[in-house]
Amino acid sequence: MNKMEQTDLKNLEAKIYVAGHKGMVGSAIERALTNQGYTNIIKRTSKQLDLTDKLEVDHFFATEKPDYVFLAAAKVGGILANNTYPADFLFQNINIQNNVIHASLVNKVKKLLFLGSSCIYPKHAPQPIKEEYLLTGALEATNDAYAIAKICGIKMCQAYAKQYSVNFINAMPTNLYGKNDNYHLEHSHVLPALIRKIHEAKDTGAAEVTVWGTGTPKREFLYADDLAEACIHLMKVYNSSDIVNIGTGEDLTINELATSISKALEYEGNLVFDVSKPDGTPRKLLDVSKIKNTGWEPKVGLDEGVLLAYQDYLQQINYSKMAVGNEALCVS
């Protein structure tokens, strides 16, 4: 274990940079920080600051001098996106991580939290997956580029902690969903994609919904606002570069998930499974005893979370319709 100087996030006026604040995870962290009374949160959109550009990142850190960094910025996507654009996932994520982590070292950031992903673990890891299973087996081929990029980020934080005694910590969340999620049918993760598919089937009166794969793989899902609370909790109490899993400790099959979403959305059609599509990892349940021993527990159950995510999806499509309508008014 790499023990580091204790530099906990307790000062409500501390300068905090949330990298990726427009995304689902980053926006959840920003909301949680604001709700807890933190008043000095630094934000930059991707148009304002290109995190893949080292010169831009170096200038930003040298100018702003943040005390704490939540590194939630990443290029993310589901099986199809990962399988189709592996070079993009590898190149962009490694560049973002390298730039932010190194600039945090150079500019003496007190503490950095790097967010990885449960896909870093071997495809056939024993269940539930303990933190020490990292690099003990082959990765899932459909998202190995993203996983390798995240492993590089973990190892970079650990190497910097070892060599420079900085307080850079690593959190590994399970599958996430929530407000500001991506509901694209091809580029999103399974839960938001199913919400959109099932909503559209109900809206059009379709008799069935096609679900990728066999429906038998098991997955664990964590509401993004619960993850945000966990991240802030770790910034307050955890001081080691050894990775920490964040999840619920419970999972269900994709079939069960799709059935649950159908029930929540009051869709009465049939679920049809396209077995020609990839399943991905057979099971991916995290052992979360480590973070629970620090005093954190998730609050939002899956049934409640799905309804909250569905409300977010409806808001997104209503906003899109309003935007199109306003554009038409302007053109005419």
- Report d(CA 300, CA 255) in Å as an integer: 21
Q: Is 233 annotated as belonging to a binding site? A: no
Averaged pLDDT, 245-261: 97
Q: pLDDT tens across 202-217, in order?
A: 999 999 999 999 999 9
Q: Residues with catalytic annotation?
A: 146
Q: Is 23 annotated as belonging to a binding site? A: yes
pLDDT, residue 33, reads 98
108 CB-near residues (< 8 Å, 6+ apart): none
The residue ranges of every structural domain in the chain are 16-323
Averaged pLDDT, 2-21: 80
pLDDT, residue 194, reads 96
326 CB-near residues (< 8 Å, 6+ apart): none
Q: pLDDT tens across 221-242, in order?
A: 999 999 999 999 999 999 999 9
Mean pLDDT value across the chain: 92
pTM: 0.91
Q: pLDDT tens across 299-310, in order?
A: 999 999 999 999
- Report d(CA 75, CA 60) in Å as an integer: 20
Q: Is 196 annotated as belonging to a binding site? A: no
Helix (DSSP H) and strand (DSSP E) numbers for the chain? 10, 13
- Report d(CA 146, CA 244) in Å as an integer: 19
Q: What architecture is domain 16-323? A: 3-Layer(aba) Sandwich (3.40)
Averaged pLDDT, 245-265: 97
